[in-house]
């Protein structure tokens, strides 16, 4: 049975909660996002309003992950953002995120960690955690994540499945957008709708760690319709084969796929135990 369902209808939901229970928060962006996505959306402003301190950003690179610490002294409640190669396949990003989480464990050996992933970042975070050897992770929050895939990934693959020499024409007229889509084909393959032989079919049947799970699902009032990119059923981790009934469902009245300031209040509410 699902732990709970909460519909958040107004922007100020959760903004008056002042006591949070986690100590380290790790924010994982989605496809074509970056560490700055949490800033430009207003999410980090909400976190800081409730006492969370920016501790730094981890930048993933071919030579390893680099930590850029934030100025000042970290307080009890701290958050990190990460910069992952968002066009790379899920397991490539998951490997780099695992290394980042292990680094955080070294820095804060006895402090609980909550991981938040937006869109594909939620799948990356879940893939990073399924091996079960990341200490101190207490919860995973996914926001509008394609846990069961999305038809948009299949459409993107179809749009870039063009034989040579026609690729020369599309490359010329498509420009940077076409180049980006071609570079992201490995990710699109990973995010097609779940069926035998796909990465998500495999991932969704692996044993998952015994932590708390929260599925933030977009949609219109009284529905689980999802958004333009990811349908609602795919955003709900209760539909993942290995997680039936283990995720708290948080329904948000928002049909846009991108991050927004409302997501900040949702995260604060979850961390404070209000959901």
CA distance 61 to 18: 36
Q: Which domain holds residue 124?
A: 5-150+191-271
CA distance 149 to 188: 9
pLDDT band at 2 (very low <50, low <70, confident <90, very high): very low
Q: Is the pLDDT of residue 57 over 60?
A: yes
CATH number at residue 42: 3.40.50.1820
- Whether 113 is in a domain gets the answer yes
Q: Which residue has the higher pLDDT, 29 or 174?
A: 29
Q: Over range 76-83, report the average pLDDT.
A: 95
Within 13 Å and on the Cβ side, how many CA atoms surround 24?
Answer: 23
Tens of pLDDT, residues 113-148: 999 999 999 999 999 999 878 889 999 999 999 999
Q: Is the pLDDT of residue 166 over 80?
A: no
- Whether 45 is in a domain gets the answer yes
Q: For residue 116, what are the β-bridge partners?
A: 27, 141
Q: Over range 192-202, report the average pLDDT.
A: 98
Residue 170 is predicted with a pLDDT of 44
String of DSSP letters for 179-244: HHHHHTHHHHHHTSPP-TTSHHHHHTTS---SSEEEEEEEESTT---B-SSSBHHHH-GGGSGGGT
Q: Over range 217-245, report the average pLDDT.
A: 90
Domain count for the chain, please give it. 1
Whether residue 114 contacts residue 26, with contact meaning beta carbons closer than 8 Å, is answered with yes
Instruction: Report which DSSP code applies to 12.
Output: T
Distances (CA, A) of 200 to 4, 124, 127, 164, 192: 25, 11, 10, 30, 8
- Whether 43 is in a domain gets the answer yes
Whether omega before 28 lies within 30 degrees of 0, making that bond cis, reads no
pLDDT band at 225 (very low <50, low <70, confident <90, very high): confident
Whether residue 248 contacts residue 215, with contact meaning beta carbons closer than 8 Å, is answered with yes
Number of H-type helices and E-type strands within the chain: 10, 9
Percent of the chain clearing pLDDT 90 (strictly above): 70
Q: Over range 43-54, report the average pLDDT.
A: 96
Residue 18 is predicted with a pLDDT of 42
- Whether 254 is in a domain gets the answer yes
pLDDT band at 85 (very low <50, low <70, confident <90, very high): very high
- Whether 86 is in a domain gets the answer yes
- Whether 79 is in a domain gets the answer yes
H or E, element range at 81 = strand 78-83
Report residue 32: phi and psi, to 5°: 65, 15
Q: Is the pLDDT of residue 80 over 50?
A: yes
Residue 178 is predicted with a pLDDT of 64
CB-CB neighbours of 51 under 10 Å: 13
pTM exceeds 0.85, yes or no:
yes
Q: Over range 37-47, report the average pLDDT.
A: 98
Residue 97 is predicted with a pLDDT of 96
Lowest mean pLDDT among 98-112, 198-212, 229-243: 98-112
- Whether 251 is in a domain gets the answer yes
Q: Is the pLDDT of residue 250 over 80?
A: yes
Per the prediction, the chain carries an average pLDDT of 86
- Whether 185 is in a domain gets the answer no
Distances (CA, A) of 260 to 40, 139, 173, 200: 9, 21, 32, 27
Lowest mean pLDDT among 21-35, 73-87, 133-147, 155-169: 155-169
Mode of pairing for the β-strands spanning 66-69 and 113-118: unpaired
pLDDT band at 6 (very low <50, low <70, confident <90, very high): low
């Amino acid at each position: 049975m699902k732990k709970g369902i909460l519909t958040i209808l107004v922007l100020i939901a959760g903004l008056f909660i002042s006591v949070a229970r986690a100590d380290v928060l790790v924010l994982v962006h989605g496809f074509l996002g970056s560490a700055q996505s949490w800033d430009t959306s207003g999410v980090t402003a909400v976190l800081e309003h409730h006492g969370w301190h920016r501790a730094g950003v981890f930048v993933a690179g071919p030579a390893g992950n680099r930590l850029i610490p934030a100025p000042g002294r970290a307080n009890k409640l701290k958050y990190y953002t990460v910069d992952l190669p968002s066009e790379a396949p899920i397991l490539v990003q998951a490997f780099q995120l695992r290394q980042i989480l292990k680094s955080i464990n070294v820095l804060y050996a006895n402090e609980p960690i909550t991981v938040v992933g937006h869109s594909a970042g939620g799948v990356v975070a879940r893939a990073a955690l399924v091996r079960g050897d990341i200490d101190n992770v207490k919860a995973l929050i996914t926001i509008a994540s394609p846990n069961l895939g999305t038809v948009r990934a299949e459409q993107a693959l179809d749009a870039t499945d063009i034989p040579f020499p026609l690729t020369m024409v599309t490359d010329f007229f498509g420009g940077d957008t076409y180049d980006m889509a071609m570079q992201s084909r490995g990710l699109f393959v990973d995010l097609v709708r779940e069926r035998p032989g796909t990465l998500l079919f495999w991932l969704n049947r692996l044993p998952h760690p015994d932590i708390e799970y929260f599925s933030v699902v977009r949609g219109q009032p009284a529905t689980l319709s999802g958004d333009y990119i990811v349908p609602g059923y795919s955003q709900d981790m209760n539909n993942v084969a290995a997680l039936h009934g283990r995720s708290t469902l948080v329904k948000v009245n928002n049909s846009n796929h991108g991050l927004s300031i409302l997501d900040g209040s949702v995260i604060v509410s979850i961390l404070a135990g209000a959901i």
